[in-house]
Amino acid sequence: MKRVLAVSPHLDDAVFSAGGTLAALADAGDEVTVLTCFTGNVAHPSGFALACQLDKGLDQRVDYMGLRRTEDVAACTEIGAQALHWPFLEAPHRGYESATALFAGRHEDDLIEDELLRALAYAIAAMQPDLIYGPMAVGNHVDHLAVRRALERTAEDVVWWEDYPYAMRETEPPEGIYRSALAQQYAERKTAATLCYESQLGFQFGGPEQARAALMNWRMEGFSTRRQFAF
Ligand SMILES: [Zn+2]
């Protein structure tokens, strides 16, 4: 039995990107933990942060992160993993005020990478995982990049997953990424887990039926152990 730690930026990334692989590891008897970094609440979100909730059709009064944490527990249960949630705040709560800003590089005063580094160093020392997965940060989302850099600075060997759905824009994987096909049963488990993230399906895929179709069509996951990428 191995202890497997998957470090996910947001509530959905690990399952979207590596859910089939993690389900296969759990089935083989490994102890799989999905640790999601950015799951913290703010009491009264405003501006772009509030818009990210309202555009999912969720009223201002809904506890948006609470809802997503519940979805994540269901998704992780589906793939046989334990869900852990850290209270770091997503980029819209850290001064990134538009969708464009999320992909346009780190703000100078954003010190989240160092905070993540300290928390990850502590967690890894306590958990002693045999295998660590993390985001390659395909797509360059600032939160994904922060997790990647913090993990690079904390852990020697990390298996990086190709971030989904950003990776689907590239029919050929970037050099150094190995894509493997998921067996039917794991494509199905991953799909079932993905469908648990109900609040995100419209935004990410266009709806649950489109999500199911996309995932049953794209039955692969991409990984690399490289530290440098050209994208
Ligand atoms: Zn994400």
Could you tell me the distance, in angstroms and rounded to a whole number, from the CA of residue 32 to the centre of ligand 1?
19
Q: Is residue 24, in this structure, part of any structural domain at all?
A: yes
Structure token pair of residue 5: 């730690």
Q: Is 134 helix (H, G, I), strand (E, B) or coil?
A: strand
Give the total number of structural domains in the chain. Answer: 1
Could you tell me the distance, in angstroms and rounded to a whole number, from the CA of residue 11 to the centre of ligand 1?
7
- How distant, in Å, are the alpha carbons of 117, 133, 204 from that of 5? 15, 6, 25
Q: How confident is the model at residue 90 (pLDDT cuts 50, 70, 90)?
A: very high
Average the pLDDT over 8-31 and give the result.
97
- Has residue 230 got a pLDDT over 70? no
Q: Is residue 229, in this structure, part of any structural domain at all?
A: no
Q: Is residue 81, in this structure, part of any structural domain at all?
A: no
Assign residue 163 the CATH number of its domain. Answer: 3.40.50.10320
Could you tell me the distance, in angstroms and rounded to a whole number, from the CA of residue 9 to the centre of ligand 1?
6
Q: Is residue 50, in this structure, part of any structural domain at all?
A: yes
Least confident piece of the model among 54-68, 78-92, 108-122: 54-68
Cα–Cα distance for residue pair 64/44, rounded to 1 Å: 11
Q: Is residue 85, in this structure, part of any structural domain at all?
A: no
Could you tell me the distance, in angstroms and rounded to a whole number, from the CA of residue 175 to the centre of ligand 1?
22
Average the pLDDT over 149-170 and give the result.
90
Could you tell me the distance, in angstroms and rounded to a whole number, from the CA of residue 13 to the centre of ligand 1?
5
- Give the structural domain span for 177: 3-73+90-143+152-224
Q: How confident is the model at residue 175 (pLDDT cuts 50, 70, 90)?
A: confident
Could you tell me the distance, in angstroms and rounded to a whole number, from the CA of residue 174 to the centre of ligand 1?
19
Q: Is residue 110, in this structure, part of any structural domain at all?
A: yes
Average the pLDDT over 102-130 and give the result.
97
Q: Is residue 28, in this structure, part of any structural domain at all?
A: yes
Q: Is residue 189, in this structure, part of any structural domain at all?
A: yes
**pLDDT the model gives residue 228:** 65
Q: How confident is the model at residue 68 (pLDDT cuts 50, 70, 90)?
A: very high
Could you tell me the distance, in angstroms and rounded to a whole number, from the CA of residue 136 to the centre of ligand 1?
11
> Is 192 or 57 the better-scoring residue by pLDDT?
192
Average the pLDDT over 54-60 and give the result.
90
CB 56 within 8 A of CB 197: no
Could you tell me the distance, in angstroms and rounded to a whole number, from the CA of residue 144 to the centre of ligand 1?
6
- Has residue 130 got a pLDDT over 60? yes
